[in-house]
């Protein structure tokens, strides 16, 4: 650490770091709040604020100009420098394993949107909505990608406001479609139908239970999606419900794909197909600092380009 950087560890430097967060919200050529307003917000003296502003100017993070009685204006700001000096760090999002082009596109779009907003951004991949949700609630990640169905349940469970919906990207952004996979030679009406269910995926489990609701003769076979091929091919399960992006490799001569049945199940599948971005509410300073600059349409447009093969995945 050089001598100048060490100055950001002093009292004035701490104020400069806090001020950097506030200035991330300021547009170029905007009139800045008065020094005493900054001082009140930061809980320090006017002199400390003035010294903090000078530190940020010397670091090249901002340039200001005084316009007499009109006040002080922000001529320009370097968002990357402000972010670095603020100490906000890198925003970390958790999303499903990128096994499909749709997920690769979603990761590409998220990275593009946050970087365009000037925020350092990284993605970690976790299988299972429960694991991603736990990481969010434990403060290990800042954001998680879930199906809209799983997101709604999370929001209901935490109605006090510890989490919030940041974005709903709409149908077919999480998965394309769901269907019933039926083993060759099996019949959905046969008694004792063996239905595979993945206990680590609430989305899949609830959707499958809904699809076979009203039948007390179903025999549930617990498995992961990685076992589906073997379960069906080796006659250890007769049917399951799964997203068709994920099981594209299973669809062959020995597996029949059937549409989901009742209206409730189709509505549930639609909410399962929409990607939702969830963050922690309150105290999420880094997210607040970038929220008003996020162009969320960039997420879906880049995802669509990756799905169509017009853009290489980059995440």
Q: Is the pLDDT of residue 224 over 50?
A: yes
In this structure, the answer to whether residues 13 and 139 fall within a common structural domain is: no
Per-residue pLDDT tens over the stretch 32-44: 999 999 999 888 9
What domain count does the chain have? Answer: 3
Residue 215 falls inside a structural domain: yes
The DSSP output letter for 30 is: P
Question: Do residue 187 and residue 211 come from a single domain?
Answer: yes
| Six token digits for residue 124 | 């970690």
Whether residue 297 lies inside any domain: the answer is: yes
In a shared domain, residues 144 and 156: yes
Residue 176 makes CB contacts below 8 A (sequence gap 6+) with 102, 243, 244, 245, 273
CB–CB of 291/164 below 8 Å? no
Same domain, 210 and 246: yes
Q: Greatest CA span in the chain, whole angstroms?
A: 85
Q: Are residues 280 and 161 in the same domain?
A: yes
**Residue that terminates a domain, selected from 52, 86, 120:** 86
Q: Are residues 57 and 193 in the same domain?
A: no
For residue 18, tell me if it sits in a domain: yes
What domain range includes position 231?
178-272
* Same domain flag for 70 and 123: no
Phi, psi dihedrals of residue 249, rounded to the nearest 5°: -70, -15
Please, what is the average pLDDT of the chain? 86
Q: Of 4, 89, 100, 95, whose CA–CA distance to 55 is shortest?
A: 4
25: CATH: 1.10.10.10
What count of other Cβ atoms lies within 10 Å of the Cβ of residue 295?
12
Query: Where does a domain end: 68, 86, 104?
Result: 86
pLDDT at residue 104 in the model: 96
Which range of 170-179, 223-232, 295-304 scores highest in mean pLDDT? It is: 295-304
What SS3 state is found at 34? coil
Q: Verify that 73 and 123 share a domain, yes or no.
A: no
pLDDT one-digit tens code per residue, 226-275 = 787 788 888 899 999 887 776 665 566 778 888 887 765 667 777 778 99
Does any domain span residue 214? yes
Is a pLDDT exceeding 90 seen at residue 145? Answer: yes
Low-confidence winner among 25-29, 142-146, 180-184 (lowest mean pLDDT): 25-29
Same domain assignment for residues 239 and 289? no
Q: Using a pLDDT cut of 70, give the percent of the chain over it.
A: 91
Mean pLDDT along residues 57-70: 89
Task: Report if residue 312 sits inside a domain.
Answer: no
The answer to whether 274 touches 168, Cβ cutoff 8 Å, is: yes
Domain membership of residue 314 (yes or no) is: no
Confidence of residue 309 (pLDDT cuts 50, 70, 90): very high
- The lowest-confidence range among 120-124, 172-176, 263-267 is 263-267
In a domain, 315, yes or no: no
Q: Is the pLDDT of residue 283 over 70?
A: no
Average of pLDDT values for 147-156?
A: 90
CATH number of the domain encompassing residue 197:
3.40.190.10
Q: Report DSSP letters for 161-205, one per residue.
A: TTEEEEEE--TTSS-S-EEEEEETT--TTSTT-EEEE-TT-HHHH
């Amino acid at each position: 650490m050089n001598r100048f950087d060490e100055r950001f560890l002093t009292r004035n430097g701490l104020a400069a770091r806090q001020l950097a967060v506030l200035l991330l919200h300021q547009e170029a050529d905007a009139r800045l709040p008065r020094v005493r307003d900054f001082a009140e917000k930061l809980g320090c003296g006017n002199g400390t604020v003035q010294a903090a502003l000078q530190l940020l100017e010397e670091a090249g993070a901002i340039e200001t100009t005084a316009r007499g009685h009109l006040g002080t204006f922000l001529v320009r700001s370097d968002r990357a420098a402000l972010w670095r000096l603020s100490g906000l760090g890198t925003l970390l999002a958790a999303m499903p394993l990128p096994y499909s082009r749709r997920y690769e596109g979603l990761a590409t779009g998220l990275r593009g949107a946050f970087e365009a907003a000037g925020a350092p951004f990284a993605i970690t991949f976790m299988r299972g909505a429960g694991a991603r949700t736990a990481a969010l609630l434990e403060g290990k990640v800042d954001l998680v990608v879930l199906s809209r169905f799983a997101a709604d349940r999370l929001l209901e469970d935490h109605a006090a406001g510890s989490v919030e919906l940041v974005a709903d990207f709409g149908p077919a952004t999480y998965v394309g479609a769901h269907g019933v996979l039926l083993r060759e030679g099996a019949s959905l009406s046969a008694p004792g139908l063996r239905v595979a269910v993945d206990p680590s995926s609430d989305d899949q489990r609830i959707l499958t239970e809904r699809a076979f609701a009203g039948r007390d003769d179903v025999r549930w076979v617990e498995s992961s999606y990685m076992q589906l091929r073997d379960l069906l091919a080796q006659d250890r399960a007769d049917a399951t419900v799964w997203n068709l992006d994920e099981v594209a490799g299973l669809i062959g001569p020995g597996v029949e794909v059937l549409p989901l049945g009742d209206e409730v199940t189709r509505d549930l599948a639609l909410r399962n197909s929409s990607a939702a971005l969830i963050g922690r509410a309150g105290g999420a300073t880094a997210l607040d600092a970038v929220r008003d600059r996020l162009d969320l349409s960039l997420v879906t447009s880049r995802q669509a380009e990756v799905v169509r093969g017009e853009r290489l995945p980059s995440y």
